[in-house]
Amino acid sequence: MYVECDPPLDGVRMLGMILDEHKILDGAHIAPVLRKARSARRVSCERTPVTSGMSTTFTEQTEWMLKVRDARDRAAFAKLFDHFAPRLRGMLMKNGFGAAQADDVIQDVMLSVWRKAHSFNPERANVSGWIFQIARNRQIDVIRKDRRPMPEELAMPESTDIDGEQVLGIEQEAASLHAAIARLNPEQRDLVQKAYLGELTHSEIQAETGLPLGTIKSRIRLGLERLRHELKGER
Amino acid sequence: MTDIAHHIPEALLASYVSGTLAQPFALVVAAHVSICEECRANLAAHEAVGGVLLDAFDPISITSDLRNRVMAGLDDDIPPEPERPRGDDTFPTPVLEALGSKAPKWRSLGPGAKQCILNAGKEGSVRLLHIAPGFAVPDHTHGGLELTLVLQGAFKDETGRFARGDLEVADDTLEHTPVAEEGMPCICLAATDAPLKFSAFVPRLLQPLFRI
């Protein structure tokens, strides 16, 4: 049944259809880069815990972030900065921030990346999503007077052993999300951007966006479950 | 924790992630995510979308001055962040923070019902409701969106049963009468972007007095 609605919502719904199609094809749409990473790594189907030192085929960003987290590596931080700071600037300018204000936010965000690195867990989040969330919080602090209420943080596992398969899985899901968004036409992409950069109100996003979140959700849930088991085991 | 049946709708999560969600609703989302793993994972998925968008932005060059400032900042001694309160069996961390880590100050709403307003402003209001077992929240309809998160006990209404962690999303199409189950008093976190309209029980004239 065709339901008449405002053009933006219609666009969102169209997006849902396109992305649903993507969901069906999911397996066939693994980004080539990651397929390469996968075979190079020759991970077995079983979970093989590896230490971060051994993981050489995660994305560069994950590698840098782990070096910052585990070894307080400044060179790796500089690489993160050179990758993310110019993109943060692009995002902030798009959000209407002036140059000086954008610089202040970038400084705060990147220093938070350094200072909060201990709470980064690649089994539950990819680096850019983690940094995005820090940046949005900072932006909200600047724009509004009251801080956004935040969920209770989960305890971090004591060991820094990494389930490589899980991390690759998260990266792979982020890559297929990236591919799905890249396939949208400019109008639809603009809509998704507006929704996540705070240019649409809740009621404007109201329609089911139908983004292909199912697979990445189950990946992240796996990461949470592993954490829960680990914490239980330690108690 | 695994028995939660009523979760946060996607649009609310996306709006929370983007920062446009009104403060009272954001508190309910943060409180639910604190006790619901499924929604915690869903929230992270929405953040991943944000990350993908961030990664896709055309880089705009950064001055060497800013880069130097940040690199120099790595050596700064920063005071450790104040530790956040740990959620207890009833109140999750963000609710404890909204309470200033003090016990709620309840005010009577009539027989069997008490409330504690956490925050009320232009964007709406968020409060704790305390309903004695077997008592009803007065019959009301909504002028806007209302989120009700059960923190203790359970209630039933025309749409189903809601126990700890369950979130009821109501709008102006819903006229319902939530009734607290026997047993423990039912404590809920309720946020609305419009004053509730009671169709009985509290005369409309009194509503400003009760701020409900």
Q: Kindly state whether residues A103 and A91 are assigned to the same domain.
A: yes
Residue B81 confidence (pLDDT) above 50: yes
Contact B42 A217 (CB under 8 A): yes
For residue A61, give the nearest of A186, A206, A228, A174 by alpha carbon.
Answer: A174
Q: What is the CATH number of the domain that holds B159?
A: 2.60.120.10
Number of Cβ within 10 Å of residue A39's Cβ equals: 10
Helix (H, G, I), strand (E, B) or coil at B107: strand
Q: Kindly state whether residues A64 and A127 are assigned to the same domain.
A: yes
CB crowding B27-38: b at 16 or more within 10 Å, else e: bbbbbbbbbbbb
d(CA B188, CA B109) in angstroms, rounded, equals 14
State the smallest CA–CA distance between residue B9 and chain A in angstroms.
9
Sequential pLDDT tens for chain A (235 residues): 333 333 343 344 444 433 343 333 333 333 333 333 433 333 333 334 444 445 458 999 999 999 999 999 999 999 999 999 999 999 999 999 999 999 999 999 999 999 999 999 999 999 999 999 999 999 988 888 778 899 998 888 777 788 899 999 999 999 989 998 888 888 888 889 999 999 888 888 876 555 667 788 888 888 888 777 776 664 3
Q: Kindly state whether residues A33 and A54 are assigned to the same domain.
A: no
Enclosing domain of residue A7:
1-47+163-235
B186-192 and B146-152 strand pairing: antiparallel
pLDDT at res. A145: 73
Q: Kindly state whether residues A137 and A55 are assigned to the same domain.
A: yes
pLDDT at res. A144: 80
Query: Who has greater pLDDT, A17 or B79?
Result: B79
Give B168-212 pLDDT, tens digit per residue.
Answer: 998 877 778 889 999 999 999 999 987 655 444 444 445 555 554
A14 token code pair: 């169209």
Contact B20 A182 (CB under 8 A): no
Q: What is the CATH number of the domain that holds A76?
A: 1.10.1740.10
pLDDT at res. A61: 96
Q: Do you know the residue count of chain B?
A: 212
- The structural domain count of chain A equals 2
Q: Kindly state whether residues A122 and A61 are assigned to the same domain.
A: yes
Nearest CA in chain A to B43: A217
- Cα A91–chain centre separation: 15
Q: Give B57's DSSP letter.
A: S
Enclosing domain of residue B139:
1-212
d(CA B5, CA B169) in angstroms, rounded, equals 13
Q: Kindly state whether residues A134 and A183 are assigned to the same domain.
A: no
pLDDT at res. B200: 44
State the smallest CA–CA distance between residue A35 and chain B in angstroms.
18
User: Contact, A149 vs B97, CB < 8 A?
Assistant: yes
For residue B93, give the nearest of B164, B33, B23 by alpha carbon.
Answer: B33
DSSP string, A30-98: --HHHHHHHHHHT--SS--EE-GGG--SS-HHHHHHHHHHHH--HHHHHHHHHHHHHHHHHHHHHTT--
pLDDT at res. A81: 98
B27 token code pair: 């508190």
Q: Spell out the alpha helix ranges (H) of chain B.
A: 10-18, 23-35, 37-56, 64-73, 93-98, 207-210
pLDDT at res. B203: 47
State the smallest CA–CA distance between residue A15 and chain B in angstroms.
14
Contact B20 A124 (CB under 8 A): no
Q: Kindly state whether residues A55 and A140 are assigned to the same domain.
A: yes
Domain boundary among A94, A118, A146: A146
pLDDT at res. B154: 96
Q: Kindly state whether residues A35 and A56 are assigned to the same domain.
A: no
State the smallest CA–CA distance between residue B202 and chain A in angstroms.
30
Query: Who has greater pLDDT, B81 or A173?
Result: A173
Q: Phi and psi for A165 in degrees, rounded to 5?
A: -60, -40
Cβ-nearest to A205 among B14, B43, B57: B14
Cβ-nearest to A126 among B21, B51, B58: B51
Mean pLDDT of B106-116: 91
Please report, in angstroms and rounded to a whole number, the separation of the first and last CA atoms in chain B.
30
User: Contact, B71 vs A78, CB < 8 A?
Assistant: yes
Residue A128 lies in a domain: yes
- The structural domain count of chain B equals 1
Residue B130 confidence (pLDDT) above 50: yes
* Residue A147 near chain B (CB below 8 Å): no
For residue A91, give the nearest of A141, A133, A145, A122 by alpha carbon.
Answer: A133
Contact B47 A88 (CB under 8 A): no
d(CA A195, CA B21) in angstroms, rounded, equals 11
Q: Kindly state whether residues A43 and A56 are assigned to the same domain.
A: no
Q: Kindly state whether residues A54 and A135 are assigned to the same domain.
A: yes
- Cα B87–chain centre separation: 14
Domain boundary among A121, A146, A171: A146
Domain boundary among A88, A119, A146: A146
Angle between helices B37-56 and B10-18 (to 10 degrees): 50
Cβ-nearest to A125 among B47, B55, B63: B47
User: Contact, B155 vs B179, CB < 8 A?
Assistant: yes
Give B134-165 pLDDT, tens digit per residue.
Answer: 998 765 556 788 999 999 999 998 889 999 99
- Residue given tokens 């989120």 in the structure block: B147
Residue A155 lies in a domain: no
